[in-house]
Amino acid sequence: MQNKATELFSDWADIGKDEGMAEAHSPAVNQILEQALSGNKSHFNFIDAGCGNGWVVRKVREMPLCLSACGIDGAKGMIENARRIDPGGDYHLADLLSWSPTVKAELIFSMEVFYYFKSPEELTRHIVDNWLAPSGRLIIGIDHYTGNPDSHSWPEDLNVHMTLKDADEWIQLFRDAGLSSCTTSKANVSKKFPGTLVVSGDLIV
């Protein structure tokens, strides 16, 4: 039987591996946030779907135009770490598919989370329908995708479900969920790494 991603990551958080993950994801995340907010002059509410220990929530909350920033994660250890680091922060222990915010957000971000879902289509639709404010943007980064062959063994290595898609399939999934101006790009590309696949779409209503 496969491990649940949230249980695996709760164990990682308990032994401090959340910090190494934040460090490893940081270069791609910085580029993704820059892309997400390029040209933005409006105030925005921010949600991090699968926030780990909440490091991106704390980073975005410091931005002058950010009105609110919250993080949701299904791993108990991750949310405990987030609350220990930042007792006043807004962190929710919940499955992404069963949680909805009271105030919809103009920017929804997620790093290395969507492929853990058996149906990323269902997750994307749930977020578009229930989390995203009109004119809002959903932007995600993923390292497990067809164009990154080194990632193909991860489901077996970790004994966790992962959904493998290529860039065209991810962009179609965003379009099918009702998003417009959908794009894919790469972040943190190097000689050794084909880059984090970045998928972005806007809710035009």
- Chain positions contacting ligand SAM, by CB under 6 A: 5-6, 9, 21-22, 25, 50-52, 73-75, 78, 95-96, 111-113, 116
Q: How far apart are CA 9 and CA 11, in angstroms?
A: 5
**Closest approach of Cβ 68 to ligand SAM, in Å?**
18
To ligand SAM, the closest distance from the beta carbon of 114 in angstroms equals 9
Question: Of 56, 39, 48, which is closest to residue 74 (Cα–Cα)?
Answer: 48
Closest to ligand SAM by CB, 58 vs 104, is 58
d(CA 112, CA 53): 13
In angstroms, the CA 17 to CA 100 distance is: 28
| Shorter beta-carbon distance to ligand SAM: residue 25 or 61 | 25
CB nearer to ligand SAM: give 143 or 202. Answer: 143
Residue 71 backbone dihedrals phi, psi, to 5 degrees: -130, 145
Reduced to 3 states (helix: H, G, I; strand: E, B; else coil), residue 78 is helix
Q: Closest distance between ligand SAM and the C-beta of residue 198, in Å?
A: 13
Q: How far is the CB of 77 from ligand SAM (least distance, A)?
A: 9
